[in-house]
C-alpha cells in the first residue's frame, strides 16, 4: 500500500528503506536489466565480428605466439576500414580420428578459405570437389611464377559415383589444385613441422580475394595494406 506524503515524513530511515525495497526496488531492477539487454544487443549488432580469412592447417603444429602475430599482420593487410574483422589460422585439423570429417564439414559449409596440408590430403579433397582449380584464380604471370610448385590432381567429375568414405581419387581432369610452400619463409615463421606443405584454395571460397592475396604473401610478395 502506498503512503501519503505526510506519512512519509514521519517514517524512520529504516522504514523508508524497507518501503523503497518493497515497492520500487524490483521495478528498478527489472528496468535496469531490460536496458542492459537492449544495450548489449545493440553493441553486438554494431560490433559484429566478421571472418575475412580462415586457413585450415592439417597435421601441423604451429607456434601459437607467431601464429597470432601473423593473424594480426594479415588483419591489417585485409582491413577494410573497420576493426570488426578477424583472420584465423587453425591448426586443429588432423588426419587421425575424425579430423578429415571435420575438415569436410567446414569446407561444405564454406567456413574455410584455404587448406594447408600434405600432398595426399590436397589430392583427396581436390578429387571430391572441395579445392579450387588455380587456373581459374591466377593470372598468367602468377601461373608462370608458380608452375614449378604446382601440385596437380584429378578433380571432381560430375558423374562420379564415389562417396567421401571411399579411398579412390577423383575421376576429373588433372589440374593444379595446390602450391608447394616448403620454401616459404613466411610459413616457416610459424614453426611448421610439416614436410612439403601444400596450400590450396577452397572451392568457391567465401573470401576468395583475400585467399589469393594470402598466396602472394606466402610467396614473399609485398602486400600493401588497404
CA 102/CA 93 separation, integer angstroms:
7
Do 88 and 111 belong to one domain? yes
Domain hosting 212: range is 50-218
Residue 221 backbone zone (phi > 0: left; psi -120 to 50: alpha; other: beta):
beta
Q: pLDDT per residue over 50-98, tens digit each?
A: 889 999 999 999 999 999 999 998 888 887 545 668 899 999 999 987 7
CA 101/CA 112 separation, integer angstroms:
14
Res 159 pLDDT > 90: no
Do 26 and 77 belong to one domain? no
Q: pLDDT per residue over 16-59, tens digit each?
A: 566 555 666 566 666 766 666 555 454 444 444 788 999 999 99
Do 40 and 60 belong to one domain? no
Q: What is the pLDDT of residue 34?
A: 63
Q: What is the pLDDT of residue 63?
A: 95
CA 170/CA 153 separation, integer angstroms:
8
CB 146 within 8 A of CB 179: yes
Q: Alpha carbon 198 to chain centroid distance?
A: 19
Number of H helices, E strands in the chain: 9, 6
Which residues lie closer than 8 Å to 115 by C-beta, 6 or more apart? 55, 56, 57, 58, 103, 107, 121, 122, 125, 131, 199, 200, 202
Do 34 and 69 belong to one domain? no
Higher per-residue confidence, 147 vs 40: 147
Do 25 and 63 belong to one domain? no
Would 225 be classed as within a structural domain? no
Do 56 and 150 belong to one domain? yes
Higher per-residue confidence, 7 vs 142: 142
CATH number of the domain that 206 lies in? 3.40.190.10
Do 92 and 21 belong to one domain? no
Q: What is the pLDDT of residue 172?
A: 83
3-state secondary structure of 175: strand
Average pLDDT for the chain? 81
Amino acid at each position: 500500500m502506498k503512503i501519503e506524503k505526510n506519512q512519509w515524513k514521519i517514517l524512520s530511515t529504516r522504514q523508508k528503506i524497507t518501503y523503497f525495497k518493497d515497492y520500487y526496488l524490483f521495478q528498478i531492477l527489472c528496468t535496469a536489466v531490460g536496458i542492459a539487454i537492449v544495450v548489449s544487443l545493440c553493441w553486438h549488432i554494431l560490433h559484429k565480428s566478421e571472418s575475412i580469412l580462415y586457413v585450415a592447417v592439417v597435421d601441423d603444429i604451429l607456434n601459437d605466439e607467431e601464429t597470432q602475430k601473423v593473424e594480426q599482420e594479415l588483419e591489417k593487410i585485409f582491413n577494410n576500414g573497420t576493426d570488426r574483422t578477424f583472420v584465423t589460422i587453425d591448426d586443429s585439423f588432423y588426419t587421425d580420428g575424425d579430423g578429415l570429417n571435420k575438415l569436410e564439414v567446414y569446407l561444405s559449409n564454406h567456413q574455410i578459405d584455404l587448406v594447408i596440408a600434405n600432398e595426399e590430403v590436397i589430392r583427396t579433397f581436390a578429387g571430391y570437389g572441395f579445392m579450387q582449380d588455380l587456373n581459374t584464380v591466377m593470372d598468367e604471370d602468377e601461373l608462370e611464377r608458380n608452375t614449378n610448385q604446382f601440385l596437380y590432381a584429378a578433380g571432381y567429375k560430375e558423374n562420379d559415383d564415389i562417396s567421401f568414405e571411399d579411398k579412390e581419387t577423383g575421376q576429373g581432369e588433372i589440374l593444379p589444385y595446390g602450391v608447394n610452400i616448403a620454401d616459404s619463409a613466411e610459413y616457416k615463421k610459424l614453426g611448421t613441422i610439416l614436410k612439403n606443405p601444400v596450400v590450396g584454395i577452397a572451392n568457391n571460397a567465401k573470401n576468395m580475394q583475400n585467399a589469393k592475396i594470402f598466396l602472394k604473401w606466402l610467396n614473399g610478395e609485398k602486400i600493401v595494406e588497404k
